[in-house]
Chains A and B, each alone.
Chain A
Amino acid sequence: MSERIIELRDIKKSYGQVYALGGVNLSVDRGEVVGLIGDNGAGKSTLIKILSGVVKPTSGDILVRGKPVTGWSAARSRDAGIETVFQDRALAVQQTIVRNIFMGRELTGFMGWLKVNKEIEEASRLMREIGFTSKVFTPHSIVGQLSGGERQGVAIARAIYKQAELIILDEPTTALSLTETAKVFHFVRQVRASGRSILFIGHNIHHVFDIADRFVVLDRGKVALTADRSEVKSAEDLINFMEDVAHPGGLPGLHEDAEQRA
């Protein structure tokens, strides 16, 4: 059995009286792509924030490589090899790709002078690693000249620097066109091929279905379904399941729709 990078056990998080998460179990193994699906307000963002250490859970255990950790924080999360690519694409768009990849951790030598050639070398290596190369741009290209999908590529390249073992992608394909989405998926596949694990959060079930080895459906702060890819026949299965979870009694319109599709 492959190594378990991180495991959450019975994680609860409440804001006052309101439970955002009511006992969630989630684990990610090495080299695995886990697709996390859920409607707005299902608790996805809270879960990501707990994983990246920004938010502390009210109760529950966090295990890194099988060992329980105490004092979980953003720094501890990074030390554990967890990198998060946030939804808002935190890039400086007027700067070059190199400057974005090394933002806040510039490669410097004597007295803080930049090791320009080393940075370019490293940036090229990272971008090759995720299959992010092109005839039209170089590590010197300005990020603002890139398309949405390519910008995600820069963010992903930045995330995999420093032996990151688990990359959390928070809705990386939101607001992207189909071709741009395809580019992001291309990068994600390359990251998986390099042996790293990915937690892919998405609204679009088709997107998540195409990329993930395992699905976790979150509903109102609880895990409603965990399924391996082999157990789910099609994206429609997942959609139907989510509709059932969301509306147990069934909404007439929705169900007729689903039946027609099936």
Chain B
Amino acid sequence: MSKAMEPDLQTPLGRTSGQAAKEWSHPSNHWLRGFVLDNRASLGTLAVFIVMMAVFIIANPTVFTTWYLYSSVLTTLPVALFVVVPLVFVVTCGEIDLSFPATMGFASWVFALVVQAGYDPFLGIAAALVTGTLLGFLVGSLVVYGGLSSLIATLGMNFLLRGLIQIINEGKSTALTNLADSRAYAIFSSQLFGIPVQIFWAIAFVVFSALLYNRHRFGAQVKVVGDNPDSAKQMGIDVKLVRVKVFVFTGIGAAIAGTFSVMINFTWWPTAGDGYLLPVLASVFVGGTPTWGGIGTVVGGAIGAVTVSFIQTGVVAAGLSGFYVQFFNGLIIILSLLGHKWNQARYR
């Protein structure tokens, strides 16, 4: 080896360390550019939503000025938001949870049973939350401590739990007519200034979860575990516990979502939650959370949920027949994925 090949080891960075201290600066000192760079995924999702809405509105401007259209979306959207947001955590952690529809059904069933038995709906909500927590823990433990693939194990749990509900109820629904007069209904499912009150709870949940994701130890550890589990373990993080926690969080979110869906309809169906599986999963990925784990965006996921729930309403309102809904669902998903692919680089 010749000496000429050796690096200049004495002044490696071409400067002395004394002056180094003052050299911190962001790629751009302008706050707006920094904001855009930090939030590019969710801003991309927002752009998709705005373009989609613009197309719908141009197609039929008058329908989109009626409040009823938005009111109906704002009633059902919150149910989706309560599961989309925890799923962002799950996907960031490098897992997937397909069992949340059954958890929604199971927890809301417990809620319905408690209310039907004549107890206060608040007690029913508490019971549903406990059920959701336990089911989340069960599913999480199965995946993490049982060492199973989360894709298959949660799919299995979804069938298993839904099957249990069906076996016991034999397809019969439960009507909860006394719910309308309760205080719980007034707080969680009435209207405020003509706006469905659920949306305020959902927004509060999204804001809380976004803080949890970005400003809390839980969110920090979820991201690290999804990014590099070996490294996380080496640095003393209980990787398995963090993984179980994201499933518990999903269980809790599903319990809230299920309860809200029952309160909207005053009826619990044995199929409660079933229709949410694919739209909710689509919302997470349309929202800009990549499939490979480590990163994600809660706010993006929420905007993704808004986008997905406006597709159906928008297609019909724009004057197209219902047959176009699936086509547009697919189109938006594919376009969003292409957009995110271009928008964010994957670091290895």
Genuine A/B complex: yes
Residues in B with CB closer than 8 Å to A179 are 7, 12
Q: Which residue on A lies nearest to B27, using beta carbons?
A: A136
Q: Is B30 an interface residue (CB 8 A)?
A: no
- Which positions 294-348 of chain B face chain A at CB distance < 8 Å? 294-295, 345-348
Interface size on B, residues (CB 8 A): 41
Chain B residues with CB below 8 A from A136, complex form = 27
Q: Which of A36-61 contact B (CB under 8 A)?
A: none
* Contact of A95 (CB < 8 Å), options: B26, B224, B234: B224
Q: Are B215 and A93 in contact (CB under 8 A)?
A: no
Q: A114–B227 contact, CB under 8 A?
A: no
Q: Which of B6, B9, B346 has the most CB of A within 10 A?
A: B9
Q: Are A99 and B228 in contact (CB under 8 A)?
A: no
Q: Provided the pairs A99-B224, A144-B348 are in contact, do residues A91 and B231 lie with their beta carbons within 8 angstroms?
A: yes
Judging by beta carbons under 8 Å apart, are B223 and A92 in contact? yes
Q: Which residues from chain A contact B227 at a C-beta distance below 8 Å?
A: 92-95
Q: How far is it, in angstroms, between the C-alpha of A145 and the C-alpha of B221 when the chains are bound?
A: 21
From A104, A139, A140, A178, B237 is in contact (CB under 8 Å) with A104
* A residues near B215, Cβ cutoff 8 Å: 113-114, 116
Closest Cβ neighbor of A124 among chain B residues: B24
Measured in the bound complex, the distance between the Cα atoms of B1 and A91 in whole Å is 32
Min CB gap A229→B, angstroms: 14
Q: Tell me, rounded to whole Å, the shortest Cβ–Cβ distance linking B112 to chain A.
A: 33
B216 is an interface residue with CB less than 8 A from chain A: yes
Q: Please tell me if the beta carbons of B218 and A183 are within 8 angstroms of each other in the complex.
A: no
With the chains together, A47 CA to B124 CA distance in Å? Answer: 60
B186 beta carbon closer than 8 Å to chain A:
no
Decide if B12 touches A206 in the complex (CB within 8 Å).
Answer: no
Output the least CB separation between B5 and chain A (Å).
8
Residues of chain A with a CB closer than 8 A to B232's CB: 92, 103-104
A93 touches B228 (CB 8 A): yes
Do residues A90 and B231 form an inter-chain contact, with CB atoms below 8 A?
A: yes
When A114-B216, A114-B220, A133-B24 are in contact, do A105 and B236 touch as well, CB less than 8 Å?
A: yes
Q: B8: which A residues are within 8 A, CB to CB?
A: 182
**For the complex, what is the distance from the CA of A112 to the CA of B348, rounded to whole Å?**
29
Quick check: A92 and B220 within 8 Å, CB to CB? Answer: no
Question: For the complex, is A197 an interface residue (Cβ under 8 Å from B)?
Answer: no
B17 contacts across to A, CB distance below 8 A: 131, 190
Residues of A within 8 A of B295 (CB): 94
- Kindly list chain A residues whose C-beta atoms are within 8 Å of the C-beta of B218: 112
- B20 contacts the other chain (CB 8 A): yes
A182 with B12, Cβ < 8 A, contacts A95-B224, A131-B20, A133-B23 known:
yes
Q: Is the CB of A103 within 8 A of B235?
A: yes
Does A30 make an interface contact (CB < 8 A)?
no
| Interface presence of B25 (CB below 8 A) | yes
Residues of A within 8 A of B (CB): 86, 88, 90-95, 99, 102-106, 108, 112-114, 116, 124, 128, 131, 133-140, 142-145, 178-179, 181-183, 185-186, 190, 206, 210-211
